[in-house]
C-alpha cells in the first residue's frame, strides 16, 4: 500500500444514508445527532506491538493507559466529553493472563479519571503481534463539535502543550530500554511518550460558539496535523519556528534535532488549532485560569492548502511527512 491518507480517501463512501449523521470520515471522530441537546462523538484507534510500542518501550500497564489515552485525545480534538469505551484485543500466546489484566488496569486508571465506563469489546488469539483497538464514545453540546475545516485567513495557529517530547522520549527508550538509567529531565521525556495525558479540558474551553476555529490532535506530528487543517479548511498555514514550545528537558539537543522532533516526531497528543486573532487573548485567559498552556505558533493565510515553516528568515514548505503508515519516513 502506498499511502495511508490516499487509502482512506479511496474507501470513503461517496454518499451517506443516515439523516442523523453530521460528519463521517475525515476528522478526528465521527459525529451524529443524539438528542435535541447533544451530539454523539465516536472514534477508534489501534496500537500494534512493534509499530506503536515494544516490550522495551512500554510496560503492559502503559500499553493500556496509552491505548485509551490516544482515543480520548481524538474526542478532546472534537471538544467532546468522554463517556464510554470498548476494547478489542488480539493476543499472541506469549502474553500471560496477568500481563493482559495489567493492560486493562492501565485503561481503567485513565477511565476512572474521566468517569468512563468499559461497555464491551472482543478477545481473539493471534500468531502475530499484540493488537489493541479501543473505541471511545463521547458527547458534545448540539452543533458545537470542533472540526478541522473551520480555519479562516486571519486566524492564529496554536498548540496546547510542548511538542517533540514524546519523540525525544522514544529515542531514549530505543537507546537504553525500559530499565536504562535516565536523568530527571530524560525521565520527563520518557513519561510523555509512555503516559500521554489527553487535552480534554483544553478542548472543552474551545467548545464555545465565540471561539470559531479548527481543531486537531497531534498524533502524527505538527507538520502533518497542520497540513490536515490546511487541506480541510482550504487555507495556507505559516508556522513560526521560534514560537514552537520546546521543553527545557530538550534544550541540550541541537536545534535541528529539536525542530525535527517538534515538527515530525508525533505522539504528543496536544491539540493544534486556530482561533480568530481578536479572540486569542480571551482564549489564553481562559486557559491560564485553569493552569493550561496556550501557545500561538503561527497564523493562517489565504492561499493553496500548504504549510510553511518560517525559521531564521527562511521559509520552507512543510510536507505532510509525519508518521504515515505504509510510507517511508521522510
Ligand atoms: N480503515 C478505515 N476505514 C474507514 N475509515 C477510516 C479508516 N482509517 C481511518 N479512517 C477515518 O479517516 C479519518 C482520519 O483518520 P486518522 O486515523 O488519520 O485520524 P486520527 O485518529 O486523528 O489520526 P491517528 O490515527 O494518527 O491518531 C477518520 O475519520 C477515521 O475514522
Ligand atoms: C516501538 C516504536 N516505534 C516507533 C514509534 C513511533 N510511532 C509509532 S506510530 C506513530 C504515529 C501515531 O500513530 P497512528 O498514526 O497510528 O496514530 C509514531 C510516532 C513508537 N511509538 N514505538
Ligand atoms: Mg486525531
Ligand atoms: Mg486514527
Ligand atoms: Mg487518533
Digit-coded pLDDT (tens) for 201-218: 999 999 998 999 999 999
What is the pTM for the complete model shown? 0.96
Region 10-25: mean pLDDT is 95
Region 24-39: mean pLDDT is 96
What residues are paired with 314 via a beta bridge? 311
Q: For the complex shown, is ipTM > 0.90?
A: yes
Q: Which of 51, 129, 228 to mutate to test the pocket of ligand 2 (most atoms within 8 A of CB)?
A: 51
Q: What is the pLDDT of residue 266?
A: 97
Is 329's pLDDT higher than 50?
no
Whether 58 and 106 have beta carbons less than 8 Å apart is answered as: no
Is 258 a pocket residue for ligand 1 (Cβ < 6 Å)? no
Which ligand 1 atom sits nearest the alpha carbon of residue 25?
Answer: 29
Is 324 a pocket residue for ligand 1 (Cβ < 6 Å)? no
Report residue 312 as a C-alpha cell: 531564521
Digit-coded pLDDT (tens) for 85-117: 999 999 999 999 999 999 999 999 999 999 999
Nearest to 31 by CA among 87, 66, 77: 77
Nearest to 121 by CA among 78, 77, 67: 67
Is 1's pLDDT higher than 80?
no
Region 70-85: mean pLDDT is 98
Is 267 a pocket residue for ligand 1 (Cβ < 6 Å)? no
Residue 231's contacts (CB-CB under 8 Å, 6 or more residues apart) are 305
Which ligand 2 atom sits nearest the alpha carbon of residue 50?
Answer: 1
Is 8 a pocket residue for ligand 1 (Cβ < 6 Å)? yes
Going by pLDDT thresholds of 50, 70 and 90, the confidence category of residue 325 is confident
Q: What is the pLDDT of residue 287?
A: 98
Q: What is the pLDDT of residue 327?
A: 63
Rounded to the nearest angstrom, the distance between the alpha carbon of 113 and the centre of ligand 5 is 20
Q: What is the pLDDT of residue 146?
A: 98
Which DSSP helix (H) or strand (E) runs through 123? Answer: strand 117-125
Q: What is the rounded average pLDDT for all residues in the chain?
A: 96
Rounded to the nearest angstrom, the distance between the alpha carbon of 105 and the centre of ligand 1 is 26
Q: What is the three-class DSSP state of 119?
A: strand
Region 256-277: mean pLDDT is 97
Q: What is the pLDDT of residue 260?
A: 96
Region 48-76: mean pLDDT is 98
Separation between Cα atoms, residue 161 and residue 217, nearest integer Å: 11
Is 328's pLDDT higher than 80?
no
Whether 273 and 147 have beta carbons less than 8 Å apart is answered as: no
Region 322-330: mean pLDDT is 61
Q: What is the pLDDT of residue 330?
A: 37
Rounded to the nearest angstrom, the distance between the alpha carbon of 267 and the centre of ligand 2 is 7
Going by pLDDT thresholds of 50, 70 and 90, the confidence category of residue 326 is low
Gap between the terminal Cα atoms of the chain? 17
Is 160's pLDDT higher than 70?
yes
Rounded to the nearest angstrom, the distance between the alpha carbon of 312 and the centre of ligand 4 is 34
What domains can you pick out in the chain, each with its CATH number? Answer: 4-141 (3.30.1330.10), 148-317 (3.90.650.10)
Q: Which of 7, 28, 32, 196 to mutate to test the pocket of ligand 1 (most atoms within 8 A of CB)?
A: 28
Which DSSP helix (H) or strand (E) runs through 316? Answer: strand 314-317
Is 305's pLDDT higher than 80?
yes
Digit-coded pLDDT (tens) for 105-155: 999 999 999 999 999 999 999 999 999 999 999 999 999 999 999 999 999
Region 159-188: mean pLDDT is 98
Amino acid at each position: 500500500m502506498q499511502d495511508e491518507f490516499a487509502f482512506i480517501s479511496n474507501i470513503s463512501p461517496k454518499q451517506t444514508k443516515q439523516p442523523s449523521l453530521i460528519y463521517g470520515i475525515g476528522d478526528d471522530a465521527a459525529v451524529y445527532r443524539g438528542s435535541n441537546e447533544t451530539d454523539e462523538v465516536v472514534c477508534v484507534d489501534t496500537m500494534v506491538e512493534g509499530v506503536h510500542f515494544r516490550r522495551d518501550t512500554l510496560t503492559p500497564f502503559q500499553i493500556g493507559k496509552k491505548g485509551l489515552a490516544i482515543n480520548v485525545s481524538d474526542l478532546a480534538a472534537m471538544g467532546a466529553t468522554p463517556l464510554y469505551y470498548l476494547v478489542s484485543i488480539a493476543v499472541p500466546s506469549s502474553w500471560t493472563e496477568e500481563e493482559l489484566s495489567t493492560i486493562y488496569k492501565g485503561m481503567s486508571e485513565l477511565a476512572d479519571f474521566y468517569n468512563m465506563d468499559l461497555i464491551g469489546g472482543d478477545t481473539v488469539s493471534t500468531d502475530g503481534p499484540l493488537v489493541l483497538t479501543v473505541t471511545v464514545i463521547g458527547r458534545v453540546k448540539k452543533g458545537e463539535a470542533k472540526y478541522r475545516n473551520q480555519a479562516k485567513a486571519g486566524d492564529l495557529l496554536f498548540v496546547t502543550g510542548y511538542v517533540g517530547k514524546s519523540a525525544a522520549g522514544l529515542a531514549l527508550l530505543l537507546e537504553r530500554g525500559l530499565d536504562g538509567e535516565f536523568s530527571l529531565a530524560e525521565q520527563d521525556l520518557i513519561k510523555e511518550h509512555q503516559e500521554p495525558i489527553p487535552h480534554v479540558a483544553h478542548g472543552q474551553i474551545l467548545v464555545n460558539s465565540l471561539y470559531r476555529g479548527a481543531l486537531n490532535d497531534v498524533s502524527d506530528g505538527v507538520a502533518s496535523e497542520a497540513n490536515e487543517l490546511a487541506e480541510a479548511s482550504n487555507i495556507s498555514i505559516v508556522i513560526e519556528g521560534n514560537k514552537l514550545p520546546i521543553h527545557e528537558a530538550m534544550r541540550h539537543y541541537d536545534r535541528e534535532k529539536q525542530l525535527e522532533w517538534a515538527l515530525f516526531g508525533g505522539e504528543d497528543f496536544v491539540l493544534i488549532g486556530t482561533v480568530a486573532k481578536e479572540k486569542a487573548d480571551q482564549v489564553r485567559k481562559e486557559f491560564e485560569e485553569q493552569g493550561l498552556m496556550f501557545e500561538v505558533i503561527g497564523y493562517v493565510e489565504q492561499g493553496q492548502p500548504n504549510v510553511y515553516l518560517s525559521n531564521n528568515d527562511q521559509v520552507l514548505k512543510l510536507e505532510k511527512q509525519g508518521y504515515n503508515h505504509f510510507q517511508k519516513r521522510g
